[in-house]
Chains A and B, each alone.
Chain A
Amino acid sequence: MDTKDIKIMADINEEIGKIAAGTREKLRGKGVLAVNVIGAPGAGKTSCLLHIIEGLKGVRCYVIEGDIQSNIDTDRLKALGIEAVQINTGGECHLDSVQIQNTVNEMPLDGSGILFIENIGNLVCPAESNIGESLKMLIVTVTEGADKPYKYPLAFEKAGIIILNKADLLPYVDFDMDYFMRGVRALNADAPVFEVSAKNGAGFDGVCECLARVL
């Protein structure tokens, strides 16, 4: 049987990209800035968010929590009076733009502010996709090691804000700050890097000022 060869050049991510753009537009219309929070499991994403939300006095904050299972993180946030919604992906490695579109549609979001979307703990897939955010906030830690920019370059390239958590442990771990920063700056000339400790609360003022400015 004869065949015909058709050039199509079809972007595989076009459909989900359009959904993300729609979510971003909708949120902007409500005066809500969406921040996609990415980081490895145990980096302290929720703990950092608690400090950031506390520091953002006068700014309305909403949280979407993404986890493979459980609503432990959402319970932590709700206990402090923070408006939080849980998404369980049941195994998927990152939140996708359809899940975020559906969740945003169900949230009241009745005041301008910041919507933090805490992605699944993973430095690979969440870095690659935009799910409707205006900004990616990357949380890495000194305990993970200084080679992370070299191993997960996309996460650093796409970040608008980079948080280096667990800085209180710097005296106890072999974290080569120069090697880390050289990698970060090769990938991303502009993103501010904040050293913080979710354990003692140090360093979050800078993060909050930065977010308030973007808002």
Chain B
Amino acid sequence: MHEYSVTKRIVKIINGAAAEHRAERVKTAFLVIGENTCIIPESVQMYFDMIAKGTPSEGAVLKVRAVKAEMRCPSCGKNFIRPRFSFECPVCGALGSPTDVGNECYVERVELFDNAL
């Protein structure tokens, strides 16, 4: 629901990287977005196309890797993907506890058109 402001920051980060590497245009940006961020990738792409207009990011493709939230089972010691309406480990049934997997929210890398060549 707050994708507009998130996308403004994403465009700023990508344009910053383009400026730093003296690229006039960005080809692709790779994002990693965890389930816990409540960010909808399709919304980000829609806002991105609007916000990036007239900047080096215009026309760039966003590739989003969505990460499911994982919990950690105290008995098995392993992570499992959080099931719907339950926190039980699918193997042993113990109650899992939250982990940081699912909180990701970053721009991993950018592919820039190399105008120096």
Residue ranges of A at the interface with B (Cβ–Cβ < 8 Å) = 1-13, 15-16, 92-94, 96, 122, 124-125, 128, 147, 150-151, 153-154, 157, 182-183, 185-187, 189
B42 contacts across to A, CB distance below 8 A: none
Known contacts being A125-B1, A150-B87, is A10 close to B107, with CB within 8 Å?
Answer: yes
Do most interface residues of chain A lie in helix, strand or loop, or is the interface mixed?
A: mixed
Q: Name B's interface SS.
A: mixed
Complex contacts, A125 vs chain B, CB 8 Å: 1-2, 38
Nearest Cβ distance between residue B109 and chain A, in whole angstroms? 5
Within 8 A of A (CB), among B87-117: 87, 95-98, 105-115, 117
Residues of A within 8 A of B110 (CB): 5-6, 8
Contact of A128 among B10, B36, B97 (CB under 8 A): B36
4 A-B pairs closest in CB distance: A93-B1, A186-B87, A186-B95, A150-B85
Chain A residue, CB-CB nearest to B4: A92
Which size bracket describes the interface of B in this complex?
A: 35 or more
In the bound complex, do residue A10 and residue B95 qualify as a contact, i.e. CB atoms below 8 Å apart?
Answer: no
Assess the A7–B1 pair: CB atoms within 8 A: no
B85, A8: Cβ atoms closer than 8 Å: no
Q: Is the CB of B95 within 8 A of A182?
A: yes
Bound complex: CA A183 to CA B96 (Å): 10
Contact A3 B114 (CB under 8 A): yes
A4 and B112 CA atoms in complex are apart in Å by: 5
Per the bound structure, the CA–CA distance linking A124 and B3 in Å amounts to 13
On chain A, the residues within 8 Å of B85 by CB distance are 147, 150-151
**B46 in the interface, Cβ–Cβ < 8 Å?**
no
**A92 close to B2 (CB less than 8 A):** yes
Answer yes or no: B27 CB below 8 A from chain A CBs: yes
Contact of A13 among B17, B23, B38, B105 (CB under 8 A): B105
CB of B61 to closest CB in A, whole Å = 12
Q: Does B52 contact A (CB under 8 A)?
A: no
Assuming A7-B109, A8-B110, A153-B82, what are 20 further A-B pairs, CB within 8 angstroms?
A1-B115, A3-B111, A3-B112, A6-B109, A8-B17, A10-B13, A11-B106, A12-B10, A12-B105, A15-B12, A92-B1, A94-B2, A96-B2, A96-B5, A122-B1, A125-B1, A125-B38, A150-B84, A153-B87, A183-B87
* A9-B108 contact, Cβ under 8 Å, with A125-B1, A150-B85, A157-B98: yes
Least CB separation from B25: chain A residue: A1
